[in-house]
Amino acid sequence: MQNLSLQPISRAEDLAAEIARIERLLDERRRELASLQEEMRAFRTLYTRIIGSRLAELSEIERAIREAERRLLGASDDGEDEATSDPPEAQPETRMSLRKIFWTIAKMFHPDHAANPQEAARRHSIMAEASRAYREGDVESLHSLLADERLQSYCASARRNEADDPKSRLLDLKEELITIEFGIKRIKGDALYRIKLKVDDAARQGRDALAEMAEDLDRQIAKARRRLAHLS
**Choice between 14 and 196, residue whose per-residue pLDDT is larger:** 196
* Torsion angle (degrees, nearest 10) of CA 37, 42, 43, 49: 140
Confidence of residue 7 (pLDDT cuts 50, 70, 90): very low
Confidence of residue 104 (pLDDT cuts 50, 70, 90): confident
- Which DSSP helix (H) or strand (E) runs through 93? helix 92-109
Residue closest to 94 by CA, chosen among 137, 49, 156, 50? 137
- In this model, does residue 88 exceed pLDDT 50? no
The maximal CA–CA distance of the chain, rounded, in angstroms, is 101
pLDDT at 119: 74
Q: How far apart are CA 123 and CA 42, in angstroms?
A: 26
Which residues are CB-neighbours of 17 under 8 A, at least 6 positions away?
none
For the chain, how many residues are written? 232
* Torsion angle (degrees, nearest 10) of CA 122, 125, 131, 133: -110
Residue 174 burial (CB count, 10 A): 16
Average pLDDT (37-43) is: 89
- In this model, does residue 212 exceed pLDDT 90? yes
As a whole number of Å, the CA-based R_g of the chain is 26
> What ranges in 48-135 are assigned the alpha helix state H?
53-73, 92-109, 117-135
Per the CB < 8 A criterion, the answer to whether 224 and 61 are in contact is: yes
**CA 94 remoteness from chain centre:** 18
pTM comes to 0.61
